[in-house]
């Protein structure tokens, strides 16, 4: 059943099932009806109260350590999903394979409401414990599931609207569940789709981690999907398929039982490419597939945390590099201080582009060709952050790699170490980091000789570290070591000329298609307050670019509800941006006009330097030439 039940139909379905004892055939989706039946078979009563007591903090830490890899690889997607769903006041939840909640990130107000029905870390949300719910039902069904409002078995859960998808490891075992939960009264458009996309990314990382040091076959029928989270992944040992992801199995109409059974020659008619080469390989039924052999043995030694963040950073870096004039001056000054080895602290709200600023600083420096190692101090579990930062010797702790690990500080040797959310680093590690910054030597866990390191330090925080010092949550001596120069990045709502800035961001994303934003859509986008700043804005524009493919124009009706409802103009008391709007008019200027004005002003501000203007606008040099009607020759 695809059609969603209306509230009245759902109410009749509940009366039919819970009061009349009859199956709600055709009135609710089959997964919901089947789950209700399973819960009733377990002796549950829908009007009773669920008494779910969370485990102790010590017990939860122990479980989180057992699932540390899943928590670590999922954290970037949890943060990104939360940023995209921030406006709906939702909570992003990660659970273990038994439904026990490992992590929850979201709106503080809704987190409190969710906690009242035990939707918090340390509580099991399997069907046998909490009835029909997206996490438990997705685990049972082994597929993505939505459970809205009164579709939950227990009446007390009717305040929730949940979308969840199971996470599988490369052998088809359940690794956990990712869930997005919000108010049942709010229509969570595309929630399940966003969750599934996030799970694709997590499974991709799980595959790469499990296959480290071995050659992975990446494949898809469409060349443009190679290198994305939707590509097929296969791992062969002695010609036999030993690991795969869901997309690869679907290409050959296989399921997980094929692992260990299928051989390469039974699937492919041609030999695979070698090294990092790409080729068209035909399947045994004659279908051409684009295949690339990804040899991780040939990859440079890099942080897995950096690799996880790189994909998102590459997508955001280009459009978010539209700095206003003040930030551009700050950047130029920061480069000079960086070259002199003066530590920098970048402050600003979540989503203002602190890491983008740091990466651009690194790119303009004399160490641009060396490593940029980004570490989110808030994304690593406290039990793992010390090992990730300082490295460890063989056998240093349970679960350590056989060969040990060099640690992220040593991987930054010769380049830039970027410590994001430094304010969330545990106090116990702050003193050790301070010692490293003073001595420039790193000693791995488990002993070993100190190793000298040479890196330039850039830190970032959305917290008020001076207040944290007063509360004894942050060491003052570490603060004065890392904050010898402070850069404050403004929030998006504080910048002038948002319509022109949005136009340039859109241009950088939709270069290959002539889609345009209508004047009304542009006005609504410019009027919205953007609490998630650039990250939220870029997420909305990326979503529009995907959902409106093939359209010539995007209008107000295509915008998310919270954006389309925006009407009050944003504050005009702002510093002019490098990318400026055209002079004010009674009605909004056309996007094409705004784009042309922004381009000419950027070229003028850069004294005719096309490359610098293109970089400042976040578009390619060829696009800038084309928009100005000039030739590259």
Q: Which CATH superfamily is 304-488 part of? A: P-loop containing nucleotide triphosphate hydrolases (3.40.50.300)
Whether the Cβ atoms of residue 489 and residue 352 lie closer than 8 Å to each other? yes
Please state, in angstroms and as integers, the Cα–Cα distance from residue 514 to each residue in 330, 437, 502, 545, 615, following that order: 35, 50, 16, 11, 21
Burial class (CB in 10 A: 0-12, 13-18, 19+), 304: middle
DSSP letter assigned to residue 422: G
CA distance linking residue 521 with residue 502, whole number of Å: 11
What is the reported pLDDT for 592? 57
Q: Which residues of the chain have pLDDT under 50?
A: 1-2, 297-321, 395-403, 512, 568-590, 631-633
SS3 7: helix
DSSP letter assigned to residue 585: -
What is the reported pLDDT for 41? 92
SS3 167: strand
Between helix 304-320 and helix 533-547 the angle, nearest 10°, is 80
**Six token digits for residue 616:** 């400042």
Contacts of 608 (CB under 8 A, 6+ apart): none
CA distance linking residue 189 with residue 200, whole number of Å: 19
SS3 522: helix
Contacts of 185 (CB under 8 A, 6+ apart): none
DSSP letter assigned to residue 495: B
**Helical ranges in 259-374 per DSSP H:** 264-267, 304-320, 325-339, 354-363
Please count the other Cβ atoms lying within 10 Å of the Cβ belonging to residue 169.
Answer: 19
Contacts of 404 (CB under 8 A, 6+ apart): 391, 392, 393, 394, 396, 444, 446
CA distance linking residue 302 with residue 306, whole number of Å: 7
Residue found by looking up tokens 């990730």 in the block: 388
What is the reported pLDDT for 442? 82
What is the reported pLDDT for 383? 54
What pLDDT, in 10s, does the model give residues 447-483? Answer: 667 888 889 999 999 989 999 999 888 999 999 999 9
**Domain boundaries 495-627, CATH class:** mainly alpha
Whether the Cβ atoms of residue 610 and residue 625 lie closer than 8 Å to each other? yes
What is the reported pLDDT for 622? 59
Whether the Cβ atoms of residue 269 and residue 283 lie closer than 8 Å to each other? yes
Burial class (CB in 10 A: 0-12, 13-18, 19+), 344: buried
CA distance linking residue 473 with residue 453, whole number of Å: 27
Contacts of 446 (CB under 8 A, 6+ apart): 392, 393, 394, 395, 396, 397, 400, 404
What pLDDT, in 10s, does the model give residues 202-252? Answer: 999 899 888 876 888 999 988 878 878 889 999 998 889 999 999 999 999
What is the reported pLDDT for 112? 65
CA distance linking residue 33 with residue 15, whole number of Å: 13
Whether pTM exceeds 0.75:
no
What is the reported pLDDT for 259? 93
What is the reported pLDDT for 514? 52
Ordered by start, the domain boundaries in the chain are 33-72+87-191, 211-298, 304-488, 495-627
Q: Which CATH superfamily is 33-72+87-191 part of? A: GAF domain (3.30.450.40)
Q: What is the DSSP string of 351-391?
A: TS-HHHHHHHHHHTSTTTTS-EEEEETTTS-HHHHHHHHH-
List the one residue out of 62, 59, 51 whose CA is nearest residue 116. 51
Contacts of 19 (CB under 8 A, 6+ apart): none
Q: What are phi and psi of 624, to 5 degrees?
A: -65, -45
Output the CA torsion 577→581→585→588 (10° steps): -120
CA distance linking residue 335 with residue 360, whole number of Å: 9
Range list of β-strands (E), 75-173: 91-95, 101-106, 145-148, 160-168
């Amino acid at each position: 059943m695809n059609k969603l039940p209306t509230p009245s139909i759902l109410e009749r379905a509940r009366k039919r099932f819970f009061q009349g004892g009859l199956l709600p055939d055709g009135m609710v989706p089959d997964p919901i009806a089947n789950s209700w039946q399973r819960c009733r078979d377990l002796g549950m009563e829908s009007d009773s109260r669920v008494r779910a007591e969370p485990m102790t903090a010590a017990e939860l830490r122990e479980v989180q350590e057992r699932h540390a890899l899943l928590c670590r690889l999922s954290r970037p997607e949890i943060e990104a999903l939360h940023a995209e769903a921030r406006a709906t006041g939702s909570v992003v939840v990660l659970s273990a394979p038994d439904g026990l909640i490992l992590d929850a990130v979201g709106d503080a107000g809704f987190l409190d409401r969710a906690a009242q029905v035990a939707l918090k870390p340390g509580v099991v949300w399997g069907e046998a414990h909490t009835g029909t719910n997206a996490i438990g039902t997705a685990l049972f069904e082994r597929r993505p599931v939505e459970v809205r409002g009164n579709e939950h078995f227990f009446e007390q859960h009717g305040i929730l609207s949940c979308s969840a998808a199971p996470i599988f490891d490369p052998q088809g075992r359940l690794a956990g569940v990712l869930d997005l939960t919000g108010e049942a009264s709010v229509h969570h458009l595309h929630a399940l789709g966003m969750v599934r996309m996030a799970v694709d990314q997590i499974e991709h990382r799980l595959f790469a981690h499990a296959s480290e040091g071995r050659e992975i076959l990446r494949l898809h029928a469409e060349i443009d999907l190679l290198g994305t989270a939707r590509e097929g992944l296969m791992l062969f040992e002695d010609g036999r398929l030993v690991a795969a992801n869901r997309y690869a199995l679907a290409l050959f109409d296989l399921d997980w039982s094929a692992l260990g059974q299928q051989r390469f020659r039974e699937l492919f008619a041609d030999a695979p490419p070698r090294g990092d080469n790409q080729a068209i390989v035909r399947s045994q039924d004659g279908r051409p597939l684009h295949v690339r052999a990804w040899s991780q043995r040939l990859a440079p030694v890099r942080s897995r945390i950096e690799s996880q963040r790189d994909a998102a950073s590459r997508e955001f870096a280009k459009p978010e590099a539209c700095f206003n004039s003040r930030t551009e001056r700050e950047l130029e000054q920061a480069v000079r201080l960086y070259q002199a080895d003066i530590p920098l602290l970048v402050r600003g709200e979540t989503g203002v582009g602190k890491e983008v600023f740091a990466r651009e600083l690194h790119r303009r420096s004399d160490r641009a060709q060396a490593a940029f190692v980004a570490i989110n101090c808030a994304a690593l579990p406290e039990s793992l952050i010390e090992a990730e930062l300082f490295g460890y010797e063989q056998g240093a702790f349970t679960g350590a790699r056989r060969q040990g690990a060099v640690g992220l500080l040593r991987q930054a040797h010769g380049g830039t170490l970027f410590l994001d959310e430094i304010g969330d680093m545990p106090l116990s590690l702050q003193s050790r980091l301070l010692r490293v910054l003073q001595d420039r030597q790193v000693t791995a866990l488990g002993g070993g000789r100190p190793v000298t390191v040479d890196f330039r330090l850039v830190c970032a925080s959305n917290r008020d570290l001076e207040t944290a010092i007063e509360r004894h949550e942050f060491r003052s001596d570490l603060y004065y070591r890392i904050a010898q120069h402070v850069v404050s990045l403004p929030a998006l709502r504080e910048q002038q000329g948002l319509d022109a800035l949005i136009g340039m961001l859109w241009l950088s994303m939709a270069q290959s298609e002539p889609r345009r934003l209508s004047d009304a859509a542009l006005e609504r986008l410019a009027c919205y307050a953007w609490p998630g700043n650039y990250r939220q804005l870029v997420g909305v524009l990326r979503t529009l670019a995907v959902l409106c493919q093939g359209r010539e124009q995007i209008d107000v009706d295509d915008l998310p509800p919270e954006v389309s409802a925006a009407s009050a103009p944003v504050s005009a008391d702002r510093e002019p941006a490098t990318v400026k709007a055209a002079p004010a008019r009674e009605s909004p200027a056309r996007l094409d006009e705004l784009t042309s004005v922004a381009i000419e002003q950027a070229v003028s501000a850069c004294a005719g330097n096309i490359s610098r203007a293109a970089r400042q606008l976040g578009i390619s040099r060829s696009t800038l030439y084309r928009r100005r009607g000039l030739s590259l020759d």
